[in-house]
């Protein structure tokens, strides 16, 4: 019974936090659902970082790429910036680009001129992975 009594309070707290939060909640579209290593990855619309000037930024922080998966149009330039205190790379699995070791505050930019799905990782930390989906 105690769980049932806490439920209305929990719901009210969630609504209050959501109402006070400056973040925008964006619905997940079915178009961006991928499967990697048999685990679903939902790509929210805010992970589609296409801007009018064709520039997208990915932060490297906390031993992760953020956003982990993005969808961009052909011709978009993607810039990775290392915000960690250790060196990282953004290295395409297909060999199409390699940032080399980026130290804290350093960036690397690559322009995606062909459609496709480009998986990448951090060479020194291969569990750090990301995906760039390039559409026409």
pLDDT digits (tens, 9 = 90+) for 22-47: 443 333 333 333 333 333 333 334 44
Confirm whether 56 is domain-assigned.
yes
Q: Check which CATH number belongs to the domain holding 116 and give it.
A: 2.60.40.420
- Considering the domain boundaries, does residue 105 fall inside one? yes
Beta bridge partners of 69: 131
Nearest to 34 by CA among 25, 24, 47: 47
Segment 70-124, tens digit of pLDDT = 999 999 999 999 999 999 999 999 999 999 999 999 999 999 999 999 999 999 9
Q: Which domain holds residue 55?
A: 26-135
**In this structure, is residue 21 part of a structural domain?**
no
Does some domain include residue 5? Answer: no
* Total of domains in the chain: 1
Query: What pLDDT, on a 0 to 100 scale, did the predictor assign at position 124?
Result: 97
Residue 14 covered by a domain? no
- Any domain includes 7: no
Task: Please confirm whether the linkage preceding 67 is cis (ω < 30° from 0).
Answer: yes
Q: Residue 128: inside a domain, yes or no? A: yes
pLDDT over 90 at 1, yes or no: no
| Residue 12 domain-assigned (yes or no) | no
Give the separation between CA 114 and CA 119, rounded to whole angstroms.
14
């Amino acid at each position: 019974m105690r769980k049932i009594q806490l439920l209305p309070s929990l719901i009210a707290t969630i609504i209050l936090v959501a109402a006070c939060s400056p973040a925008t909640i964006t619905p997940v579209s079915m178009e961006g659902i991928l499967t990697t290593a048999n685990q679903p990855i939902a790509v929210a619309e805010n992970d589609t970082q296409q801007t009018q000037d064709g520039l997208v930024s990915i932060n490297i922080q906390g031993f992760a790429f953020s956003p982990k998966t993005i969808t961009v149009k052909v011709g978009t330039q993607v810039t990775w910036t290392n915000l960690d205190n250790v060196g990282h790379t953004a290295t395409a699995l297909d060999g199409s680009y390699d940032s080399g070791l980026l130290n804290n505050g350093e960036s690397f930019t690559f322009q995606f001129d062909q459609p496709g799905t480009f998986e990448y990782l951090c060479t020194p930390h291969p569990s750090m992975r990301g995906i760039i989906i390039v559409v026409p």
